[in-house]
Structure 1
Amino acid sequence: MTAADALHAERIPTTIYSDSEQASIAAAGEIAALIRRRNAAGQPCVLGLATGSTPTRLYEELVRLHQQEGLSFQKVITFNLDEYFPMAPDSLQSYVRFMHEYLFDHIDIRPENVHIPDGTVAPEQVGEFCRRYEEQIREAGGIDLQLLGIGRTGHIGFNEPGSGAASRTRLITLDHITRTDAASDFYGEENVPRRAITMGVGTILEAREVMLLAWGEGKAAVVKRMVEGDMTDSVPATYLQKHANVHVILDEAAAAELTRVKTPWLVGTDLRWDNDAHVRKAVTWLARTLQKPILKLTAEEYNEHGLSGLLAESGAAYDINIKVFNQLQHTITGWPGGKPNADDTHRPERAVPFTKRVLIFSPHPDDDVISMGGTLLRLVDQGHEVHVAYQTSGNIAVFDDEAIRFADFVAEYDEAFSVAGGQPGDNIYRRVSETLKGKQPGQVDSDEVQQIKGLIRRGEAKSALRYAGLDPDERAHFQDLPFYETGRVRKKPLGEEDIQLTINLLNQIQPHQIYAAGDLSDPHGTHRVCLAAIFEAVRRLKAAGTPWLQDCWVWLYRGAWQEWDVAEIEMAVPLSPEELTRKRRAIFKHQSQKDRPLFPGADQREFWQRAEERNRTTAQLYDQLGLSEYEAIEAFVRWKF
């Protein structure tokens, strides 16, 4: 894209917020203002509503506005976008159930004003139901505001690629990618319905106002196509460009690929070139675009690619190249806990104290070794006091046959080594096997099965720590944060107990280093909630003037889903081939996740394969930019709270 093209890149009004929390509150405020205007005029407010993980925080804010600020939904009429077909309304995955759990059961909306596509309609009656749904929207006066999310295929509602701009409410066959993305909700892609009832693109475009929300790096690519690409039925969301009153609301992660974010110098943004982060981003982009080492970039290449302003403010290309090269060189360290008796002026970590107390937060029981296993091993090898906090049990990510296998082991063990006067333990095997035999797809496990699955994940985490040279009885901390313990993919919001448990552990360890998962592309949202718990705990400790926090640094890693951009990386820990092999063996200790994880997301490879590819790619990128060549690199960004 040339600088001239970039000036007109965005074809839809788009607002970017720092995070999804602020964005959701702002979006809820806009909806609340519309409802109040309609209420004041004595008119109904007709809302088109969406489901999925994206709007949940918005719905929570609407509930708060109703309960604490008197926002009334008495005159609100709602029409939901879609529903799986077939789907019983009381099913765990039903959008009827979703809407009641997140919104309708907590506000004063009238039941007769709620409309959601019926997943129980007889197949031969679906066509008539869809025609009637369109009529009900017209009878209500049309939709005032339609709320949307966006899928990775570019679908809005369930309008998959191929859906035309004039399409109406209908039964549609779901794309394979959409079914893969939904697999976690259904405990396997094989359980995801193949069809759904959805409003059409034409129905959506008839709304007087459209608001689309998108969060996380995983949506960044399709958001760019929607906002900046040509209109095409291969990306149905691009048809929103035809709408006269549409507003796209993003967090920074979802906006990462937009031209004004990724290459702001191409859209005339008034950048401060005295900002090292901006310069580093521009220079690494130029080097990658031209596939040249940084030190070989020329003034002509800067000028030809929209960076003449950088040259004008910062001087010769050679001086800029040297500056950025040195900055990247200084991110590389073989001493993630700091190197003792060394000048740390240009090192990413402090030399003192040495050794350090280190607390690694792992959202699931394997994220520590998957995401930063090489660094964990290095920290242990270099003598630091390393603790690992497993924030959730991870119990939903265990196959049923694994639970049966462990229950069978307990039964056999009790029978072989039963204590005099005790009863054989084969009852547990019988109970578990009978429970799971009658389990329906997506059904919540019994408490006993959940506990067994949690113990499986806990045992694997302990095994990985032993391999790393740590005593799990002293260094493993299993938090089992309550927000996660629903037995379902859909979790509770972050609660006060989650935050307090995190504060208590931090005060117990008093670490000099904290490592936390900053991987917001996790499709299940657990990483986001776990990170929010850490951030809120640290903020409260800081506000309280906690002494030990004054000498604590927080490093963010990313996992199997996404890596930091090279311009963002502040600490790069190189791994030798032997260390990469050790990391792989630590991951292999998580046997229940081996061969095929229960929730693989869109990438069907095993987690160790994704991690190695990501670490090798980072190393290759450093090499391509002209820095040292390594087998692999784990990358971190510091959160300067």
Structure 2
Amino acid sequence: MLSNYPLSEVEKCFLKESGVTEITTKIPYLMVDNFPKMGLLTACRFLEWAAANPDGVISLPTGKTPEFFIKWTQFLLENWDSKKGQDIRAEYGMSDLKKPVLKDLHFVQIDEFYPIASEQANSFFHYVNKFYIDGFGLDPAKALLINSDDITLAEGKHFSEIFPTLKVDLSLRFREASTKEEKLQQESIYLIDKWCGEYEQKIRDKGGIGFFLGGIGPDGHIAFNTRGSDLYSTTRLTETNFETQAVAAGDLGGIEVSANRLVITIGLETIVYNPEAVGIIIAAGEAKAQIVKDSLETTLDNIYPATVLQKLKNGRFYLTKGAASKLTDSVNSYFQKGEWTQAKTEKSILELCKKLGKYANRLKLEDLKNDPYTSLIPNLSENTVKQVIDSTIAKLNKGIEKEEGEVLLHTGPHHDDISLGILPHITNQLSEKSNEAHFSVLTSGFTAVTNTFVIDTLQYTKKLLDQDLIQMVNYEDFFQTGYKLKMDKDIYHYLTNVASEEPDQIKRGLCHRVVRALVSIFEVPNSQKLRETINDVLAILKNSYDGEKNPPKIQKLKGMIREFEEELVWAHFGVKVKNVHHLRLGFYTGDIFTEQPDKKRDVEPIVEMFREVNPTKISLTLDPEGSGPDTHYKVLQATAEAVRQWSKEKDLSDLRIIGYRNVWFQFEASESNVIVPVSLGDLSVMEDSFANCYLSQVNASFPSYAHNGKFSTIAKRTWVKQLNDIQLLLGKDYFYQHDMAKVRASHGLIFFKDMNVEEFIAHARELEKSIEGMI
């Protein structure tokens, strides 16, 4: 495969560094350790191409995926001749490369929501102008952009007049218009189609795209060419599917918006029109592993749109190890290269069970010898499977050990991460009275709360104030000090009404906390000013477009709603409000690209919390590849640095770090060293607490692409699937005949990794190194 495709000097260097020696996929790929390193690879290749094609045609992606491509490109251009820049260029085959000048490149916008105002910060038009036209110093006159405001519609009207609800009914392409409004809409749709054809022709007049860089969606879409798109498709106005709408929900302010918004996208044929084009798809994280495998190992197929890159001799995938983990090449390499480990033995045995549809205790030595992977197990014998079974039982035994006298600090990047990651494990710990538990969410989490939710809550709050049903505001000292008091009472009353099944009183409980938050944030001095403040906030939100970045005080209000929800969850188990810590790290700003954690602003508060709590165990989400939501790996960086700093003050040789994963990515059984049983009762507690406490999330405005509903359902399915895997190794009877009721009641399992401080720091170090010196 490698000999059939010419690699650039940059690609040769990264290929050598990766250690990959065989590529058997339909499209070549390069693999790097983590998400930031993928940005470096992509930036180097882009600048290498731009130096050779100073007036070429480029098309670059939007969203969060290109974050480190953009940052590394800017860094290299600004530091081309500095020592750091020279070192990077020398390492990756660019020593003799003349610094590229980007101002003569022709830019082609890949896609856009329709309709959307161009001045909105969440429009892709705004994105490409900010990060590419301005950020890279491109010439606006040489850019082909998709500006909804400028597309001619019927009678010369603006889209807000033609489509006042911002919904476009594409059935009007094929049916008769029944009203004057529909006739204008139908004519406008035809005019948009005409515009798309002209846009396509302008791209072709330039000779087609010379350098295309795009991400890949969970359904395999590139640009907005979703699963099933015609491989010969061109620029068009089209609908999207659920997976794409779920991904876009964060940009547009909720799936309620993205589900009703169309898109304009270049087509698959547009991408490959120029046969000499460099076409690159970037993908990070294990969540993308299956679609990457399908896209790279399948012949041309409209079910997998990215297979269209097979038409380009310079078609490539740039992947993190996680994204490449299911490729046949990666699986072969994992088992065939390097030291053989116990994890490899466990993984190969489990995969053989799945392949043959057999329980482990029914595997014969002949089965193991005939399999390409299990046959590699050193000292393969009749006892090999039993050793794996014993190892798995040891992990399970560790998960049911009684923990006593521990000071537990459970942390999460977002609200609900801890609950969705390891709630049943925590309930076991909380049942032991000698344990002390603390919980900390490290960011404010305000982006997960929709404007609509806050508007509805504030309007209900006004109604209660009018009815004198928020009586605490009548207390003489409420606006001076009273608003800070009786937080635990708020929580208790709220949960009492959950138990009583009083929905109005539950909502009233939320409104009480919102009033406290308003008084705190806006320094409200009296009842009259409280009403004025509520009206001011309502006016701002009602005049904001969906997905617009809120002012800081409204961000804080949304964050305090999330914090209240988190306190409610842990109050289920008697945890006091003072034991739920809200760190609100400063890097979390609501911008498309959040800042890197700052050692003073973001690390010191974590160290202070460690000093205050003095934990013996710390749990955290473990994403060393940096491929999950960007908040996850930035929190991981800050936490790792905090542990390092704390270790200078205190002997941490006995401190244990619990690395868990949640709905975004999961451990394999072989990666974990602790397995915790999950009963139906545990599943019910998790589902109920999510539904009763995370009120802002129940409607799933920002769902996972894997499920159109609550995240708690995904967690439940994950735990059940993990049980199914372990049952292949241990047998179902191991569970229902076990001596312990906890194991007999297992209908799901949680996997996590128990580490000492050195092991944890090693996991985080590679991610830190990949970013060091750039920002």
Structure 1 length-normalised TM: 0.86
SS of the aligned residue for 1:93 comes to coil
| Whole-angstrom CA distance in 2 between matches of 1:146 and 1:436 | 38
Counterpart for residue 714 of structure 2: 610
Correspondence list, 1:143-542, <5 A:
143-192=209-258, 194-205=261-272, 206=274, 208-262=277-331, 264=333, 270-272=336-338, 274-307=340-373, 309-310=375-376, 313-316=378-381, 318-333=382-397, 355-382=405-432, 383-398=434-449, 399-400=453-454, 401-406=456-461, 412=468, 413=470, 417-419=474-476, 422-424=526-528, 425-473=530-578, 475-486=579-590, 490-496=592-598, 497-518=601-622, 525-538=630-643, 540-541=644-645
SS of the aligned residue for 2:329 comes to helix
Paired letter, 1:60: K
- The alignment of Structure 1 onto Structure 2 pairs a total of residues equal to 607
Runs of 4 or more off by more than 6 Å in structure 1? 519-523
Point out the structure with max Rg over C-alpha. 2
Counterpart for residue 62 of structure 2: 51
Asked if the contact 1:24–1:57 (Cα under 8 Å) also holds between the matched residues in 2, the reply is yes
Asked if the contact 1:273–1:314 (Cα under 8 Å) also holds between the matched residues in 2, the reply is no
| Whole-angstrom CA distance in 2 between matches of 1:260 and 1:13 | 11
Question: Which 5+ residue runs of structure 1 have no aligned equivalent?
Answer: 1-6, 341-353
| Whole-angstrom CA distance in 2 between matches of 1:632 and 1:60 | 42
SS of the aligned residue for 2:587 comes to helix
| Whole-angstrom CA distance in 2 between matches of 1:134 and 1:307 | 49
Counterpart for residue 656 of structure 2: 553
| Whole-angstrom CA distance in 2 between matches of 1:503 and 1:75 | 49
1:480/1:415 Cα in 2 relative to 1: closer, same or farther (>3 Å)?
A: closer
Asked if the contact 1:510–1:549 (Cα under 8 Å) also holds between the matched residues in 2, the reply is no
SS of the aligned residue for 2:303 comes to coil
Shift of residue 247 of structure 1?
Answer: 1.6
Shift of residue 545 of structure 1?
Answer: 4.7
Paired letter, 1:116: L
1:307/1:613 Cα in 2 relative to 1: closer, same or farther (>3 Å)?
A: closer
1:501/1:144 Cα in 2 relative to 1: closer, same or farther (>3 Å)?
A: farther
| Whole-angstrom CA distance in 2 between matches of 1:594 and 1:189 | 12
Paired letter, 2:352: L
Counterpart for residue 102 of structure 1: 131
Counterpart for residue 109 of structure 2: 80
1:107/1:276 Cα in 2 relative to 1: closer, same or farther (>3 Å)?
A: same
1:36 corresponds, among 43, 47, 51, to 51
Shift of residue 208 of structure 1?
Answer: 1.9
Comparing 576-585 with 452-461, greater Cα deviation is found at: 576-585
Counterpart for residue 345 of structure 1: none
Paired letter, 2:369: N
| Whole-angstrom CA distance in 1 between matches of 2:363 and 2:421 | 33
| Whole-angstrom CA distance in 2 between matches of 1:65 and 1:8 | 29
Shift of residue 407 of structure 1?
Answer: 5.9
Shift of residue 49 of structure 1?
Answer: 0.8
Shift of residue 406 of structure 1?
Answer: 4.6
Shift of residue 242 of structure 1?
Answer: 2.1
Counterpart for residue 568 of structure 1: 671
Shift of residue 594 of structure 1?
Answer: 5.7
1:80/1:532 Cα in 2 relative to 1: closer, same or farther (>3 Å)?
A: farther
| Whole-angstrom CA distance in 1 between matches of 2:667 and 2:323 | 14
Shift of residue 76 of structure 1?
Answer: 2.9
| Whole-angstrom CA distance in 2 between matches of 1:188 and 1:11 | 37
SS of the aligned residue for 1:315 comes to coil
Asked if the contact 2:255–2:703 (Cα under 8 Å) also holds between the matched residues in 1, the reply is no
Counterpart for residue 64 of structure 1: 75
Asked if the contact 2:473–2:527 (Cα under 8 Å) also holds between the matched residues in 1, the reply is no
| Whole-angstrom CA distance in 2 between matches of 1:604 and 1:165 | 28
Tell me the alpha carbon deviations over residues 162-210 of structure 1, each in whole angstroms, 9 at most, x when there is no partner: 4333333333332343223212321222322543222221221125211
1:609/1:107 Cα in 2 relative to 1: closer, same or farther (>3 Å)?
A: closer
| Whole-angstrom CA distance in 2 between matches of 1:181 and 1:404 | 30
Tell me the alpha carbon deviations over residues 13-39 of structure 1, each in whole angstroms, 9 at most, x when there is no partner: 11222211111112111212223344x
Asked if the contact 2:256–2:701 (Cα under 8 Å) also holds between the matched residues in 1, the reply is no
Shift of residue 507 of structure 1?
Answer: 4.8
1:219/1:431 Cα in 2 relative to 1: closer, same or farther (>3 Å)?
A: same
Structure holding more helix per residue:
2
Shift of residue 576 of structure 1?
Answer: 3.9
Paired letter, 2:199: Y
* Identity of matched residues, %: 23
| Whole-angstrom CA distance in 2 between matches of 1:445 and 1:220 | 35
Counterpart for residue 12 of structure 1: 27
SS of the aligned residue for 2:322 comes to coil
Paired letter, 1:633: L
1:176/1:604 Cα in 2 relative to 1: closer, same or farther (>3 Å)?
A: closer
Counterpart for residue 624 of structure 1: 728
Asked if the contact 1:60–1:102 (Cα under 8 Å) also holds between the matched residues in 2, the reply is no
2:121 corresponds, among 74, 92, 95, to 92
Shift of residue 298 of structure 1?
Answer: 1.1
1:633 pairs with 2:728: no
| Whole-angstrom CA distance in 2 between matches of 1:451 and 1:461 | 15
Counterpart for residue 4 of structure 1: none
Comparing 50-59 with 159-168, greater Cα deviation is found at: 159-168
1:307/1:453 Cα in 2 relative to 1: closer, same or farther (>3 Å)?
A: closer
| Whole-angstrom CA distance in 2 between matches of 1:53 and 1:271 | 34
Structure 2 length-normalised TM: 0.72
SS of the aligned residue for 2:59 comes to strand
Tell me the alpha carbon deviations over residues 419-457 of structure 1, each in whole angstroms, 9 at most, x when there is no partner: 389444333333334444444322334444433322222
| Whole-angstrom CA distance in 2 between matches of 1:498 and 1:78 | 37
Shift of residue 246 of structure 1?
Answer: 1.5
| Whole-angstrom CA distance in 2 between matches of 1:403 and 1:448 | 15
Asked if the contact 2:67–2:593 (Cα under 8 Å) also holds between the matched residues in 1, the reply is no
| Whole-angstrom CA distance in 2 between matches of 1:11 and 1:99 | 31
Comparing 16-25 with 137-146, greater Cα deviation is found at: 137-146
Shift of residue 321 of structure 1?
Answer: 0.6
Shift of residue 289 of structure 1?
Answer: 2.0
Shift of residue 541 of structure 1?
Answer: 3.3
SS of the aligned residue for 1:35 comes to helix
| Whole-angstrom CA distance in 2 between matches of 1:423 and 1:550 | 54
| Whole-angstrom CA distance in 2 between matches of 1:595 and 1:563 | 23
Give the RMSD, CA atoms, in angstroms.
3.1
Paired letter, 2:618: I
| Whole-angstrom CA distance in 2 between matches of 1:506 and 1:585 | 31
Shift of residue 491 of structure 1?
Answer: 4.8
